[in-house]
Amino acid sequence: MSDLTQRQSEILEFIRSRLRDTGFPPTREDIAREFGFSSKTGAQDHLVAIARKGYIELVPGNARGIRLLKGGDEVLSHQFELPLIGSIAAGTPLTAATNVESWLRIDPQLFHPRADFLHRVSGHSMKNANILDGDIVGIHAQQDADNGQIVAAVMPHPKTGEDEITLKRYFRRGRRVTLKPENDAPAYRPIEIELAPADGDSQEQSPFRIAGIYAGLIRPRG
């Protein structure tokens, strides 16, 4: 890597370590925070320079759109695999190794937008959207969504209190969020959520977060 500056080499190694540890590349914000840049622009400038030298490819329109072109075989192999996220251990990031059931050899580009992780559907709440129990859905990781999009929401299970992923159609008006199922049966009712105030001094925490948006599915045979 003699053609890279010291800082570029450090950023490239940071990208590799994130891929090894979580299966996901860092966001521009992650890089800016790690290296003390005042904004994401500084991180982006370094990424562009590293891409020009052929070490990475930048995927437009994706906060984690960084693909290694040169690096360890172990890291590169994961770029054409996706983690299947199961139950979420308390206090861990969604992509922590403890939450990954397995890695599936599926090209992320088969989904639109590009999938960052997979989740196995449990239940029939999205039946009318042709998302069925047992389907494996691809999720594009992002923290917000447009009204009407299907999102992977992380929220506490009503009985156990442990975090879980649920697929629902997302609507927001002010601080009021509605997570709507796609099933007309009376048992499936919208989930109404009042978001915590945006005031930075508030100690309230919102009862859910968006892990990403639905990007397509695979229906296992049998």
Report, as residue numbers or ranges, the catalytic residues: 125, 168
Cα-based angle 149, 124, 173 (whole degrees, multiple of 5): 30
**Residue 145 CA to its chain's centroid (Å):** 12
Report helix, strand and coil shares of the chain as percent, to nearest 5.
25, 30, 45
Q: Across the chain, which distance is largest between two alpha carbons, in Å?
A: 64
3-class DSSP state of 140: strand
C-alpha–C-alpha distance, residues 104 and 155, integer Å: 25
Alpha carbon of 108 to those of 13, 48, 80, 194, 213: distances in Å?
22, 22, 7, 34, 14
Host H or E run for residue 194 = strand 191-194
Q: Please name every residue paired with 211 in a beta bridge, in sequence order, or none if there are none.
A: none
